[in-house]
Amino acid sequence: MSKKNTLIISIIIFVFTIVVVGIFGVVPLPDYSNSINEEIDGKIYYQSSIISSNIIPPAPDLLDDCIFEIEINSSDIIEREVLCSSDLVAYSTNFYFYDTTVNNEGNLVVRYWNDSSNSEYALEINPENKEILKEYEVENVAIRNQNLNEYGEVLIDSWRTVENTDRSVYIYFQKGSDTVEVFKSEAPSSYYYNSLIWSYDSEKILALDSENQFIVFSKNKKYDPVKLSYSVNEKERDYIKLIEWIKP
């Protein structure tokens, strides 16, 4: 067989392989709606780190740790920076933003380690103006279970339902002895939900996915999953964790 024929056959095999992979081997991201209905409202708090955009290693560098707020209504979604660790350096450099809670007055409660007293403290902070309302020592902290809602239903962490070879994503919750499926879709093996929380009325579930998107799911499948689309500031971010979804 001539070199020319061998080259042609090699090209044909290469093209055929690409076509087969393209048709059968590439799994797209799940498809979500962008239409916000009147049932989706309130405020969402989440933790995000501000990082540098360095190209040369070591990169990226952590510049700040922050809490952001997303306010949702039927016509618009507004995001704003609420609080960063750089705003609180007079108190500590070791804040537990990942375990921030929102109290009954709508204020943020942020715990931190107080080096001078060698003990754990908390700050109650007004999220509208960053005013420190109260500082107090914390003892015997009970870690809140974000996966549990007021009806005793428990979100199942997505990593518990996915195998390394699986090309699907799921949203489940446990209701008594029953496991309820909220959502299932084919997805690339690199796609996953890294944080889940209930809405304030326990009727919706919010997911933060590996694409840094916020997805709303109806617990009872009243509507298709909705992606919250909005403009963000130009700071480079590493999305960490959902904190809480409160009433409007």
Local confidence band at 225 (pLDDT 50, 70, 90 cut-offs): very high
* Tokens coding 183: 């959502």
Report the percentage of the chain scoring pLDDT > 90.
Answer: 57
**Pick from 136, 176, 142, 182: nearest CA to 158:** 182
Instruction: Summarize the confidence of residues 191-212 as an average pLDDT.
Output: 94
Residue 131: pLDDT band (50, 70, 90) is very high
CB neighbours of 118 closer than 8 A, spacing ≥ 6? none
pLDDT digits (tens, 9 = 90+) for 236-247: 788 889 999 999
Whole-number pLDDT of residue 230:
81
pLDDT tens string 56-68: 666 567 788 999 9
Give SS3 for 225. Answer: coil
- Which of 6-15, 50-59, 189-198 has the lowest average pLDDT? 6-15
Q: What is the mean pLDDT of residues 230-241?
A: 76
The answer, yes or no, to whether residue 107 has pLDDT greater than 80, is yes
Separation between Cα atoms, residue 11 and residue 224, nearest integer Å: 44
Residues 6+ apart with CB under 8 A from 36: 72, 74, 77, 226, 228
pLDDT at 90: 93
Distance CA 243, CA 41 (A): 16
d(CA 183, CA 162): 13
Look-up of token digits 């704003």: 80
What value does the mean pLDDT take over residues 134-149?
84
Q: What is the mean pLDDT of residues 90-117?
A: 92
54 or 23, higher pLDDT = 54
The answer to whether 239 touches 48, Cβ cutoff 8 Å, is yes
Cβ(50)–Cβ(66) below 8 Å: yes
Average pLDDT, the chain: 85
pLDDT at 191 over 50: yes
Domain definitions of the chain by residue range: 42-246
